[in-house]
Chain A
Amino acid sequence: MSNTTSDDSLITTEVQTESNDESAPPAGAGTAVAARDLNVYYGDEQAIDDVSMEIPEKRVTALIGPSGCGKSTFLRTINRMNDMIEICRVDGEVEFGGKNVYDDDVDPVALRRKIGMVFQKPNPFPKSIRDNVAYGLKIQGFDGDVDARVEESLKGAALWDEVKDQLDSSGLELSGGQQQRLCIARAIAPDPEVILMDEPTSALDPVAASKIEDLIDDLAEEYTVIIVTHNMQQAARISDRTAVFLTGGELVEYDDTAKIFEDPEEQRVEDYITGKFG
């Protein structure tokens, strides 16, 4: 990725095409996830600084910002994966489905069954492709037709044609890009409402990455996609809304992607996008 100013125009054009294609304005959709006065600390260090934002349903929302700005932390507060980190402390609310996920009566395990997650490095289980996709169904006690759901999910992840003859071979035998799509298939198999993606293409080559980007576009028809990326062109290409985090976990600007990349309100955001900073 390059942050030089010469790329700026390129980004702008792409965004324009994209936003012209969009028929429904993002702001009109319902809210899938909302953060209210969210503060996250790792020990004494503040990773998220008083963030409030509403993430629209069935849209792609990108979280961008320099390394260490808290964008991944924010993503992980949504499905409470931060619970795994002992020194992590969360203040404020994250609303999902009309409920604060940090309420005492919320089971993080139940929460994660409604919110899928795709990681930076593809992490298929050392099991067959079929078992990988069926994993979520198995642990949730799904009692329908597993094979049909596996096929559906693999088709949804644009992987079916490539693996339909080798469903019983190990998921580890696939290429990196295929593994990541397998992980996406695994995430969508239990039919979650939101899919979190933590830099899903950064470990992949450009061709594989562009396949994932196309896939994200399709996924947004059925799911709310929240994607962390450090690749601004990617954010511009695939997202409807973009949130810019800057150092210290501060949400500096959050708006329609086109607006962020063409005419940001904040000078700091413009500096970051044009590569003067970060």
Chain B
Amino acid sequence: MATDNANADGFGEVSRVRGIVFEYLSLGASVFGLVALGVLLVYVSIDAFDLANASPVWLLTYFLTLVVPFLAFCLYSANDPAVTRRALGVLGGGLVAVAAVFTAIETLLVPIPRLNWQLAYLFVVGAPVTAYLTYVGSGERVGAVGFGFLGRLLGGAALGLAVGTLFLVFDSLVWFLAYTLGVVPAVALYAFGSARSVPQAQTAALPAGLLGVVAAVFLRGVVPTYPSDLLIYLWTIAIPVAAAGAFAVAERRGRTAAAVVAGVPLALAAAGGFAAAGAGLPAPTVLLVLVLTGVPTAVYVSRVVDAGEGLVGFALPVLLVGGVVAGALIVEALGVPAPDPWLDPSFLTEAPSQTPTEAGLYPAIVGSVIIIAMVAVLSFALGVGTSVFLEEYTPGSGPLGTLTRIIQVNVANLAAVPSVVYGLLGLGLFANLLGLGIGTAVTAALTLSLLILPITIISAQEAIRSVPDDLRRGSDAMGATRWQTTKNVVLPEAMPGILTGTILALGRAIGETAPLIMIGAATTVFRAPDSLFSRFSAMPMQIYVWAGFPQADFRYGVVAAGVITLLIILVGMNGTAILLRNRAERGN
């Protein structure tokens, strides 16, 4: 702004002190909340991972074996001397600065509880630098390959576990019948229709599929024998996933490559599944994890190898695993005492307990996954339907226009209704009046779906509105019906935005507690739910209950671990949503 420094001689000078103070004050206000949250997150991480008891040698070992190689990988990928200089400067300068400031505060003012300067350095300097370098590194080819590869491994594994969890409550036999009698014929009809240009076959696909699903429900009790669970998952999930992978590769690279990309992970997964069955492990979950990790990864590898760039990136997972193993070996060899984190594998696989060290989150995680899966389906379907109706199907005037405006205002107001009131709705309507049961997964899923429905609708509307009108008019002028325009032009364009909004809304649902309390979700359950109508708990519910326990080990240990677990899942979901959005924006 020219006026800001127009202090030309002869005109005197207007005081800027107030302005400068105000600018820094407002900057301070902007980051106030974030800094406060950041400090709290630091403390909850320290508690969850017992970092307060980590010796400096232990920290240094892992810093050298894990963090430094990771940063080196990012710098190698960024391949920019300026970034390298800056990163090294901040890491080095930060070390001196943090140590000096921290020591000064401790000696002159107050001792800072449960922090030492090494930890402070890791959080204040190490974490931001790592985040920045991850961002810069992933922008270049090598880093993009590395993180893409890592993301598919982790995402596939998480998805496999989640799908496996769903079958704890959903009847896999009904699914088997529905898939065989409904999905397969419908897909076959549709594919036949598009390949041979037989529109009748395409039209018939949906009714045929529905018929098959209905038939499946009736046949469930009639059919006497079923294949084993492992075979069911192989047939209904592993093979279609592999087929989809093969399809994605076949268009680009031909049949042989497709067969390899789909066949190898499928064979590995099947072998893994049978091996697990032999070893007494949960074979279906092993199969699902292997196939949902393997196929997308294989497709990705094939694509990267095709492009022939950034192959070094594939070393990233090896680097990380190697770092962990090396760190563990060194710590063991040196005899350094290791911290005893509350958040460890047993925390995720055990049931809650009165003893802090034995308490686990497993039933609550399962409960959350099941609820969120149902909420996702319900709120996505209702959200897309409503937003399509509001944006594409209704005029702005006339009686229908008035109805649209009423719905619109109503949606905006619903978004602001306190969540605890939705809880009452769930209790009064779903649990008691409709008899779905107090504290059951179905009641919870319906309640939470209604709770996030307004958010889903509003974001879906925005996504649909951002589709240029030119495209709609182009389609209309071709003689497309409203549904054809919606299906062929509007929804494909709006889908990334709709998905992003839905995932963000699901993030809201997964952390909601008050409605769960109101519908009487169980405070503590010791077994994972085995049907939609069994009492269940959810992660935030369990956190709430534990936070009320008086023992310090619960307050500062177990709950912290639960909070970190919940936050990691949230970050994973929101990260996926943001990646989706960025990808769609890049695509245009």
- Residues of A bordering B, CB below 8 Å: 79, 81, 84, 86-87, 109-114, 116-117, 119, 121, 123-126, 135-136, 138-144, 146, 183, 186-187, 190, 196
Chain A residues near B588 (CB-CB < 8 A): 126
- What's the least CB distance linking A173 to chain B, in Å? 12
Q: List residues 475-529 of chain B with CB under 8 A from any CB of chain A.
A: 475-481, 484, 488-489, 492-493
Is residue B199 within 8 Å, beta carbon to beta carbon, of the partner chain? yes
Assuming the contacts A86-B397, A142-B197, asked whether A109 and B477 have C-beta atoms less than 8 A apart, the reply is no
Is residue B303 within 8 Å, beta carbon to beta carbon, of the partner chain? no
How many A-B residue contacts, CB cutoff 8 Å? 78
Contact of B471 among A87, A112, A123 (CB under 8 A): A123
- The answer to whether B199 touches A110, judged by C-beta atoms less than 8 angstroms apart, is no
Distance in angstroms between the alpha carbons of A145 and B223 in the assembled complex: 44
- What's the least CB distance linking B495 to chain A, in Å? 12
- The answer to whether A119 touches B480, judged by C-beta atoms less than 8 angstroms apart, is no
Is residue B396 within 8 Å, beta carbon to beta carbon, of the partner chain? yes
Which 9 pairs, one residue from A and one from B, show the smallest C-beta to C-beta distance?
Answer: A113-B479, A117-B477, A112-B479, A123-B470, A141-B199, A123-B474, A136-B478, A139-B484, A139-B480
- The answer to whether B479 touches A140, judged by C-beta atoms less than 8 angstroms apart, is yes
- What's the least CB distance linking A113 to chain B, in Å? 3
Chain A residues near B398 (CB-CB < 8 A): 86
Known: A117-B477, A142-B197. 13 other contacts (CB 8 A): A81-B476, A86-B397, A86-B401, A109-B481, A125-B488, A126-B471, A126-B588, A135-B475, A135-B480, A136-B478, A144-B197, A186-B478, A190-B478
Is residue B198 within 8 Å, beta carbon to beta carbon, of the partner chain? yes
Chain B residues near A138 (CB-CB < 8 A): 488
- The answer to whether B470 touches A119, judged by C-beta atoms less than 8 angstroms apart, is yes
- The answer to whether A84 touches B478, judged by C-beta atoms less than 8 angstroms apart, is no
- The answer to whether B477 touches A112, judged by C-beta atoms less than 8 angstroms apart, is yes
Q: Closest B residue to A114 by CB, please name it.
A: B479
Contact of B474 among A79, A141, A183 (CB under 8 A): A183
- The answer to whether A79 touches B198, judged by C-beta atoms less than 8 angstroms apart, is no
- The answer to whether B197 touches A86, judged by C-beta atoms less than 8 angstroms apart, is no
Q: Could you give 14 example pairs across A and B, Cβ below 8 Å?
A: A86-B398, A110-B479, A112-B476, A112-B479, A116-B477, A117-B478, A126-B493, A135-B478, A139-B481, A139-B484, A143-B197, A143-B199, A144-B197, A186-B474
Chain B residues near A112 (CB-CB < 8 A): 476-479
Assuming the contacts A126-B493, A143-B198, asked whether A81 and B473 have C-beta atoms less than 8 A apart, the reply is yes
- The answer to whether A84 touches B479, judged by C-beta atoms less than 8 angstroms apart, is no
- Residues of B bordering A, CB below 8 Å: 197-199, 395-398, 401, 468, 470-471, 473-481, 484, 488-489, 492-493, 588
Assuming the contacts A125-B474, A183-B474, asked whether A86 and B479 have C-beta atoms less than 8 A apart, the reply is no
Q: Closest A residue to B200 by CB, please name it.
A: A141
Assuming the contacts A119-B470, A138-B488, A139-B484, asked whether A125 and B475 have C-beta atoms less than 8 A apart, the reply is yes
Contact of B488 among A110, A119, A135, A186 (CB under 8 A): A135
- The answer to whether A125 touches B481, judged by C-beta atoms less than 8 angstroms apart, is no
- The answer to whether A109 touches B493, judged by C-beta atoms less than 8 angstroms apart, is no
- What's the least CB distance linking A170 to chain B, in Å? 9
Contact of B478 among A113, A121, A143, A144 (CB under 8 A): A113
Q: Closest A residue to B479 by CB, please name it.
A: A113
Contact of B480 among A84, A109, A114 (CB under 8 A): A109
Distance in angstroms between the alpha carbons of A275 and B198 in the assembled complex: 56
Chain B residues near A117 (CB-CB < 8 A): 477-478
- The answer to whether B479 touches A125, judged by C-beta atoms less than 8 angstroms apart, is no
Assuming the contacts A126-B588, A143-B198, asked whether A187 and B397 have C-beta atoms less than 8 A apart, the reply is no
- What's the least CB distance linking B481 to chain A, in Å? 5
Distance in angstroms between the alpha carbons of A111 and B199 in the assembled complex: 21
- What's the least CB distance linking A156 to chain B, in Å? 16
Chain B residues near A81 (CB-CB < 8 A): 473, 476-477
- Which of A109, A140, A146 has the most CB atoms of chain B within a 10 A radius of its CB? A109
- The answer to whether B395 touches A86, judged by C-beta atoms less than 8 angstroms apart, is yes
Distance in angstroms between the alpha carbons of A86 and B402 in the assembled complex: 14
Chain B residues near A142 (CB-CB < 8 A): 197
Chain B residues near A190 (CB-CB < 8 A): 478-479
Distance in angstroms between the alpha carbons of A111 and B477 in the assembled complex: 9
- What's the least CB distance linking B496 to chain A, in Å? 12
Chain B residues near A109 (CB-CB < 8 A): 479-481
Q: Closest A residue to B481 by CB, please name it.
A: A109
Chain A residues near B492 (CB-CB < 8 A): 126
- What's the least CB distance linking B151 to chain A, in Å? 26
Q: Closest B residue to A141 by CB, please name it.
A: B199
- What's the least CB distance linking A239 to chain B, in Å? 21
Chain A residues near B475 (CB-CB < 8 A): 125, 135, 139
- What's the least CB distance linking A243 to chain B, in Å? 21
Q: Closest A residue to B199 by CB, please name it.
A: A141
- The answer to whether A125 touches B489, judged by C-beta atoms less than 8 angstroms apart, is yes
Distance in angstroms between the alpha carbons of A109 and B398 in the assembled complex: 22
Assuming the contacts A119-B473, A125-B471, A125-B489, asked whether A187 and B478 have C-beta atoms less than 8 A apart, the reply is yes
- What's the least CB distance linking B419 to chain A, in Å? 38
- Which of A139, A144, A183 has the most CB atoms of chain B within a 10 A radius of its CB? A139
- What's the least CB distance linking A55 to chain B, in Å? 18
Chain B residues near A121 (CB-CB < 8 A): 470
- What's the least CB distance linking A226 to chain B, in Å? 13
Chain A residues near B493 (CB-CB < 8 A): 126
Chain B residues near A135 (CB-CB < 8 A): 475, 478, 480, 488
Chain B residues near A183 (CB-CB < 8 A): 474
Chain B residues near A124 (CB-CB < 8 A): 474
Chain A residues near B473 (CB-CB < 8 A): 81, 84, 119, 123
Q: Closest A residue to B203 by CB, please name it.
A: A141
Distance in angstroms between the alpha carbons of A4 and B460 in the assembled complex: 51
- The answer to whether A119 touches B474, judged by C-beta atoms less than 8 angstroms apart, is yes
- What's the least CB distance linking B488 to chain A, in Å? 7
Q: Closest A residue to B487 by CB, please name it.
A: A139
Distance in angstroms between the alpha carbons of A21 and B395 in the assembled complex: 49
Distance in angstroms between the alpha carbons of A81 and B588 in the assembled complex: 27
- What's the least CB distance linking A118 to chain B, in Å? 8
- What's the least CB distance linking A81 to chain B, in Å? 6
Distance in angstroms between the alpha carbons of A124 and B475 in the assembled complex: 10
Chain A residues near B468 (CB-CB < 8 A): 123
Distance in angstroms between the alpha carbons of A113 and B473 in the assembled complex: 13
Chain A residues near B401 (CB-CB < 8 A): 86
